Chain A
Amino acid sequence: MQLCENLFFQKGFNFLLFTDTGQENRGGAFMAVEKTYEEINARIRKGEAVVVTAEEIIGIVEEKGVEKAVREVDVVTTGTFGTMCSSGVFLNFGHTKPRIKMNRVYLNGVPAYGGIAAVDAYLGATALPESDPENRVYPGRFLYGGGHVIEDLVAGKPVKLEATGYGTDCYPRRRIETWITLSDINDAILFNPRNAYQNYSVAVNLSNRTIYTYMGVLKPNLGNASFSTSGQLSPLLNDPYYKTIGVGTRIFLGGGIGYVAWHGTQHNPCVPRGENGVPLTGAGTLALIGDLKQMKPEWLRGTSFIGYGASLAVGVGIPIPILNEEILLYTAVKDEDLYAPIQDYSSDYPNREASNLGRVSYAELRSGKITVMGREVPTTPLSSYQKAREIAEILKGWIKSGSFLLTEPVQPLPSVDSRIALKGLEEKKNNG
């Protein structure tokens, strides 16, 4: 706990030295720029806002310098497009006649959770049909799961709904089998408990057999190294201390508009950070929410990881208001300055052991080759940099056109002073 706070002060101090925006300078020869959300939104409404992507801002700051860039740029847009397993959708199907209290619910054979009100259900991205052979024929292919149902719904395709109930006085019906489409049903609310991980491990395989993981296929004996991030374009890597991204932040979600609902599960801000404030391991996460009916199948795509399972690729883009020099400098972070830890997925990860294989920068990862244990290893990207760039561009377009206003968080996310420490789950023989 104490370590976490010390770290914060130490890094905060480094940051002041680094950016030269300390209090000493305020009110000196020039006034440090401080913009408000209202001022930026006023410019957006007038169609005058200067909006650039998190990739473009790097060159702008290098070329024009911090002082000029902070005056000129109003918003920096970020983006990421990759598989995010902790995703799913709340559905309300409407009431049957006579009524049913849906106890077991299936969509195209994929089970949804029916343990909420009568015709509500939650369909998770990794849910699999009961008929799926899973890994009984190893490695399983997982061709259709919850993520694919979500993609089909968003694409407007008819989806088969089967539900059973046990019958009550108020909900006498016991079975329904019908077809639904996204426009037929009352509600479809995408609610993803954990998306947009701030940094993530690079996965390698030190064993002598191919392994099949959620980080993709890992070839034996350090045959490849997989990673999943948009790096310098990634939302939380551009706002390392969550100074603008918080509860209520309006975002690009699945091709439509969504919001940050809360910090995501496993949100873990008190991890070691670099001098630029960016976590050196997995850290912050976001819980995201939005109306599925205005999203697009292009940005919500079912995925199949051989030997692992089915999931959903989610497109997320978050705008960062350039309120001051500090925020600007965070957004100017480059792949060269972002580091990820290398982790062995053949033994260390499954056994929850620490891996000590060093770190690599995202610039190296994106180049296609990294060095691990003195050996050159090809890299396997799992998240699309090109699509991340496209999301940042789309969001930029929305903001420039005046159709997308920024929201000030109603509550900040827990940060480095939160004293959060992630817990593992221990086996206990009794409840004492």
Chain B
Amino acid sequence: MIANKVVLRFASSLVGQPIIYHLVKEYDLVINILKADINPHQEGYVVLELSGDSENYNRGLKYLRDIGVEIEPLSGTIAWNRDRCLQCGACTSFCPVGALQLARPEMEVRFDESKCIVCKSCLDVCMARAVEVRF
């Protein structure tokens, strides 16, 4: 059994193909889509949590590579430094998965690492530089 978070990047020519369908149907993989941005006739990407038995997993990845999908592992982790955090909450409106959240009514910034997909959207929007990537 293998489970990994990966980033898939598609060229615009691939956007029309039912890639996820094939991964499920033909390779019996369990797919949890964490983030996706796919538009007709444009490049797109999907962040997936991909799991299945190791043979199917590797065949699935080969299928993706063969049709021209670029695969990158989701590397590093995001570290949130509570002491540096100014508690403004700006990052929470950039986090696509709600890993950084503004708890209401406390108006307190909270970070749930298990939800984080390391998309790095929070890094540059933090005026206190309280989030960083750790490898």
Partner-B contacts on A (CB < 8 A): 81-83, 139, 141, 143, 216-217, 224, 226, 301, 303-306, 311, 313, 366-368, 378-387, 389
Task: Assess whether B127 is interfacial by the CB under 8 Å rule.
Answer: yes
The reply to whether B128 and A387 contact each other, CB–CB distance below 8 Å, is: no
Instruction: Considering the complex, give the chain A residue whose CB is closest to the CB of B123.
Output: A306
User: A216–B94 Cα gap in the complex (Å)?
Assistant: 11
Nearest CB of chain A from residue B91's CB, rounded to whole Å: 9
User: A82–B87 Cα gap in the complex (Å)?
Assistant: 10
User: A304–B88 Cα gap in the complex (Å)?
Assistant: 13
Task: Assess whether B2 is interfacial by the CB under 8 Å rule.
Answer: no
With contact pairs A304-B127, A381-B88, A384-B87 given, residues A368 and B94 touching in the complex (Cβ less than 8 Å) = no
Nearest CB of chain A from residue B130's CB, rounded to whole Å: 10
> Most chain-A Cβ atoms within 10 A of its Cβ — which of B86, B88, B106, B109?
B88
Instruction: Considering the complex, give the chain B residue whose CB is closest to the CB of A144.
Output: B129
The reply to whether B129 and A304 contact each other, CB–CB distance below 8 Å, is: yes
Give the chain B neighbours of A389 by CB distance below 8 A: 107
Per-residue A-contact encoding for B75-108, CB less than 8 Å = 1, 0 else: 0000000000011111001100000001010111
Partner-A contacts on B (CB < 8 A): 86-90, 93-94, 102, 104, 106-109, 124-125, 127-129
Pick the residue among A217, A368, A379, A387 that contacts B125 (CB under 8 A). A217
The reply to whether A226 and B86 contact each other, CB–CB distance below 8 Å, is: no
Nearest CB of chain A from residue B109's CB, rounded to whole Å: 8
Main secondary structure of the interface of B (DSSP, over half): loop
With contact pairs A217-B94, A224-B93, A389-B107 given, residues A382 and B88 touching in the complex (Cβ less than 8 Å) = yes
Instruction: Considering the complex, give the chain B residue whose CB is closest to the CB of A82.
Output: B88
Instruction: Considering the complex, give the chain A residue whose CB is closest to the CB of B107.
Output: A385
User: A381–B90 Cα gap in the complex (Å)?
Assistant: 5
A-B contact pairs, 24 of them (CB 8 A): A81-B86, A82-B88, A83-B127, A216-B125, A216-B127, A224-B93, A303-B127, A304-B129, A305-B127, A306-B124, A313-B127, A313-B128, A366-B104, A366-B107, A379-B93, A380-B93, A381-B93, A382-B127, A384-B87, A384-B107, A385-B107, A386-B87, A386-B108, A386-B109
The reply to whether B88 and A383 contact each other, CB–CB distance below 8 Å, is: yes
The reply to whether A381 and B128 contact each other, CB–CB distance below 8 Å, is: no
Give the chain B neighbours of A379 by CB distance below 8 A: 93
A313-B127, A384-B107, A386-B109 are known; give 10 further A-B pairs, CB within 8 A. A139-B124, A224-B93, A301-B86, A303-B127, A304-B127, A368-B93, A380-B93, A380-B125, A381-B89, A386-B106
Give the chain A neighbours of B107 by CB distance below 8 A: 366, 384-386, 389
The reply to whether B90 and A380 contact each other, CB–CB distance below 8 Å, is: yes
Instruction: Considering the complex, give the chain B residue whose CB is closest to the CB of A369.
Output: B93
User: A301–B85 Cα gap in the complex (Å)?
Assistant: 10
Give the chain B neighbours of A366 by CB distance below 8 A: 104, 107
The reply to whether A141 and B124 contact each other, CB–CB distance below 8 Å, is: yes
